[in-house]
């Protein structure tokens, strides 16, 4: 059976990179040495100074580096920076130009897929399509918490995709949009750092209450959830640091049913294998890899799953390389069982 | 994110007109200079007025008002920015430790909620001695950036 391919985004190693412990080239080399590929994803504005402009000779050197590491380019993370200016959002024409420069860079670097973000509307996606064709790129709209497959923005895109019928447009599921519970290490880490247990319990209870509510459909509902978390922080004696635990829980940890990715599966062009924890059994306690991988395999998805460890937002003790390796072991175990079972064939 | 890294350790220095300190971006990727929505700094509890603050990014020193308009200039995620404070009467004493506090609010340009991008505000407090003279150059060390292309960097592997 043809299975999805594994890989990693260098975003997983942000703490080392930001601390200047490892440079961009070091990370690519180590990903190869530790077998964390073969897929390699890069966020342009993180890894490349001056992006989307590329220094002379950069692309050739980059491709050589990737080849030498035994890796394959999977996806370039572009950013739809509609809020570039302080005084106003970019106009549609400005945002198209802004995205186009990043598409050109992706092409020059040799990436097959570009991640785009939700400020790109169906109309703008349609305007970018001829450029994607010209540059031999596939554009994937990331579906990231707090959005879901059922969010009106994503439904509008799906409708447009079905009308245009181009294989160069699709979606990138981010598994952080479909958690089943808060990451256990989030709560235990902050408890150990002295955040009051009552406050953490209240955040947890509220997240679980949101989990039983309908998925958010607009920004006003998201804003209301931010406010609710701030109220809880105040009620339970939190401070300007602890409040972020609550508000980030709204932005990072989505409530979609993991099985609902099935509804967009034919349009999946890349996957962000977001995860936070690996427990003593080698499982991810809040992101059900058995369901997520089963549905990708059953849909015949053969693209990359970019492992994206984001536990570093609070976990500064585990090594990001070790965490990604552990998630790959989990993924390989699940994929092997699916490969062996008749239901997965 | 990375709030403890905002103030670069050991970067407080006395200048002819006041003091300076190196700051890092508390975010994972480069942001436009115009994303700086708030930059407050105080020395030993004495806050600098906004008009006394300039910020040097990419070797260009600018007022906070000018920085707000610099959407086509980028603060790279690995680069220090140097915050200069004009405080001729309150220059730090080079012989003792000082408390430095920086609050940095950056707009995250791809996360608009109801038409308004999120602003992440982080506060960092550190105690450090003041160097008696500012380092000769404020441009980033090329060994710590990637603009030289994908050659192996000189950094020490962790």
% of chain A residues with pLDDT over 90: 92
Name beta bridge partners: A305: A6, A271
Minimal-distance CA residue of chain A relative to B154: A23
Confidence of residue B136 (pLDDT cuts 50, 70, 90): low
Confidence of residue B113 (pLDDT cuts 50, 70, 90): confident
Contact B157 A21 (CB under 8 A): yes
Across chain B, mean pLDDT equals: 85
Same domain, A295 and A201: no
What per-residue confidence (pLDDT) applies to A247? Answer: 87
- The Cα B134–Cα A131 span in angstroms is 49
Same domain, A246 and A258: no
What per-residue confidence (pLDDT) applies to B153? Answer: 34
Domain count across chain A: 2
- The Cα A111–Cα A63 span in angstroms is 10
Minimal-distance CA residue of chain B relative to A79: B110
What per-residue confidence (pLDDT) applies to B118? Answer: 85
Considering the domain B3-144 in this protein, what is its CATH number?
Answer: 2.60.40
End residue of a domain, out of A219, A250, A281: A250
Reply yes or no on whether the pLDDT at B133 is more than 80. no
**Burial status of residue A188 (CB atoms within 10 A of its CB: 0-12, 13-18, 19 or more):** middle
- List the catalytic residues of A: 144
% of chain B residues with pLDDT over 90: 67
Across chain A, mean pLDDT equals: 95
- The residue ranking higher by pLDDT, A125 or B118, is A125
Reply yes or no on whether the pLDDT at A274 is more than 50. yes
Q: Which of A49, A226, A250 to mutate to test the interface with B (most CBs of B within 10 A)?
A: A49
Contacts of B91 (CB under 8 A, 6+ apart): B14, B15, B18, B19
Minimal-distance CA residue of chain B relative to A84: B109
End residue of a domain, out of A204, A226, A250: A250
In chain B, where the domains are located:
3-144
Same domain, A202 and A77: no
Contact B147 A55 (CB under 8 A): yes
The total number of residues written for chain A in this structure: 345
Does residue B78 belong to the interface with chain A, where contact is any CB pair within 8 Å? Answer: yes
Same domain, A243 and A212: yes
Least confident among A116-120, A222-226, B50-54: A222-226
* Strand-by-strand arrangement of the A304-309 sheet: A169-173, A138-143, A113-116, A72-77, A39-43, A5-9, A304-309, A271-275
Q: What DSSP state is assigned to residue A180?
A: S
**pLDDT, average across residues A280-304:** 97
Least confident among A5-19, A330-344, B14-28: A330-344
Other C-beta atoms within 10 Å of B48: how many? Answer: 20
Q: What is the CATH number of the domain that holds A88?
A: 3.20.20.150
Minimal-distance CA residue of chain A relative to B67: A86
Our CA-based measurement puts residue A343 at a distance from the nearest CA of chain B, in whole angstroms, of 40
**pLDDT, average across residues A75-89:** 94
Interface of B with A in 118-137 (CB under 8 A): 123
Q: What DSSP state is assigned to residue A341?
A: S
Reply yes or no on whether the pLDDT at A344 is more than 60. no
Reply yes or no on whether the pLDDT at A107 is more than 50. yes
What per-residue confidence (pLDDT) applies to A343? Answer: 53
Four-residue CA torsion sign, A116, A120, A123, A124: negative
| Number of alpha carbons in the 13 Å side-chain half-sphere of residue B96 | 7
Reply yes or no on whether the pLDDT at B141 is more than 50. no
What per-residue confidence (pLDDT) applies to A114? Answer: 98
Same domain, A122 and A47: yes
Our CA-based measurement puts residue A56 at a distance from the nearest CA of chain B, in whole angstroms, of 8
Same domain, A102 and A234: no
CB B24 within 8 A of CB B8: yes
Contact B78 A220 (CB under 8 A): no
Q: Which of A11, A20, A29, A116 to mutate to test the interface with B (most CBs of B within 10 A)?
A: A20
Minimal-distance CA residue of chain B relative to A316: B2
What per-residue confidence (pLDDT) applies to B154? Answer: 33
Same domain, A203 and A309: no
Q: Which of A9, A18, A312 to mutate to test the interface with B (most CBs of B within 10 A)?
A: A18
Reply yes or no on whether the pLDDT at B155 is more than 80. no
What per-residue confidence (pLDDT) applies to A342? Answer: 61
Same domain, A123 and A170: yes
What per-residue confidence (pLDDT) applies to A345? Answer: 43
**pLDDT, average across residues A63-77:** 98
What per-residue confidence (pLDDT) applies to A311? Answer: 97
- The Cα A307–Cα B101 span in angstroms is 37
Our CA-based measurement puts residue B35 at a distance from the nearest CA of chain A, in whole angstroms, of 7
pLDDT digits (tens, 9 = 90+) for A220-238: 888 899 999 999 999 999 9
pLDDT digits (tens, 9 = 90+) for A168-181: 999 999 999 999 99
Our CA-based measurement puts residue B89 at a distance from the nearest CA of chain A, in whole angstroms, of 32
Same domain, A280 and A336: yes
% of chain A residues with pLDDT over 70: 99
Of the partner residues A23, A117, A219, the one whose CB lies closest to the CB of residue B113: A219
- B108: which chain A residues are within 8 Å (Cβ-Cβ)? 83
What per-residue confidence (pLDDT) applies to B96? Answer: 87
Contact A23 B158 (CB under 8 A): no
Same domain, A161 and A36: yes
What per-residue confidence (pLDDT) applies to B157? Answer: 32
**pLDDT, average across residues A253-266:** 97
Our CA-based measurement puts residue A314 at a distance from the nearest CA of chain B, in whole angstroms, of 9
Contact A18 B78 (CB under 8 A): yes
Least confident among A33-37, A254-258, B146-150, B153-157: B153-157
């Amino acid at each position: 059976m043809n299975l999805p391919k594994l890989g990693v985004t260098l975003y997983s190693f942000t703490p080392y990179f930001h601390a200047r412990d490892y440079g961009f080239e070091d990370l690519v080399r180590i990903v190869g040495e530790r077998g964390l590929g073969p897929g390699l994803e890069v966020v342009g504005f993180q890894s490349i100074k001056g992006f989307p402009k590329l220094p002379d000779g950069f692309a050739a050197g980059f491709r050589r580096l990737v080849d030498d590491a035994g890796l394959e380019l999977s996806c370039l993370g572009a950013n739809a920076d509609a809020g570039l200016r302080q005084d106003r959002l970019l106009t549609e024409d400005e945002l198209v130009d802004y995205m186009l420069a990043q598409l050109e860079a992706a092409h020059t670097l040799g990436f097959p897929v570009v991640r785009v973000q939700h400020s790109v509307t169906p109309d703008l996606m349609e305007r970018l399509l001829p450029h994607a064709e010209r540059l031999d790129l596939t554009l994937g709209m990331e579906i990231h918490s707090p959005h879901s497959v059922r969010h009106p923005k994503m439904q509008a895109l799906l409708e447009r995709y079905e009308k245009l019928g181009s294989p160069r447009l699709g979606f990138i599921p981010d598994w952080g949009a479909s958690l089943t519970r808060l990451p256990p290490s989030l709560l235990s880490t902050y408890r150990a750092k002295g955040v009051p247990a009552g406050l953490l319990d209240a955040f947890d209870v509220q997240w679980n209450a949101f989990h039983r509510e309908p998925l958010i459909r607009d920004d006003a509902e998201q804003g209301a959830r931010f406010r609710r978390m701030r109220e809880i922080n105040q009620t339970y004696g939190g401070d300007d640091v602890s409040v972020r635990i609550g508000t980030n829980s709204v932005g990072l940890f989505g409530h979609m049913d993991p099985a609902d990715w099935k509804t967009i599966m034919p349009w999946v062009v890349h996957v962000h294998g977001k995860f936070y924890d690996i427990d003593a059994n080698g499982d991810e306690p809040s992101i059900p890899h058995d369901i997520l991988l089963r549905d990708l395999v059953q849909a015949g998805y053969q693209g990359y799953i970019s492992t994206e460890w984001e536990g570093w937002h609070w976990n500064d003790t585990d090594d990001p390389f070790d965490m990604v390796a552990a998630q790959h072991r989990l993924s390989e175990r699940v994929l092997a069982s699916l490969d062996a079972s008749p239901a997965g064939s | 994110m990375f709030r403890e890294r905002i103030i670069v350790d050991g970067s407080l220095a006395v200048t002819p007109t006041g003091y300076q300190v190196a700051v890092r971006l508390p975010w994972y990727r480069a942001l436009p200079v115009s994303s700086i929505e708030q930059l407050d700094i105080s020395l030993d509890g004495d806050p600098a007025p906004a008009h006394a603050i300039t910020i040097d990014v990419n070797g260009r020193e600018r007022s906070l008002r000018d920085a707000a308009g610099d959407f086509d200039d980028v603060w790279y995620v690995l680069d220090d920015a140097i915050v200069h404070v004009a405080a001729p009467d309150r220059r730090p004493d080079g012989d003792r430790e000082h408390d430095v506090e920086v609050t940095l609010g950056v707009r995250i340009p791809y996360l608009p909620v109801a038409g308004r991008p999120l602003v992440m505000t982080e506060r960092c407090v550190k105690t450090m001695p003041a160097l008696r003279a500012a380092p000769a150059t404020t441009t980033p060390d090329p060994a710590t950036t990637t603009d030289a292309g994908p050659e192996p960097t000189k950094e020490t592997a962790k």
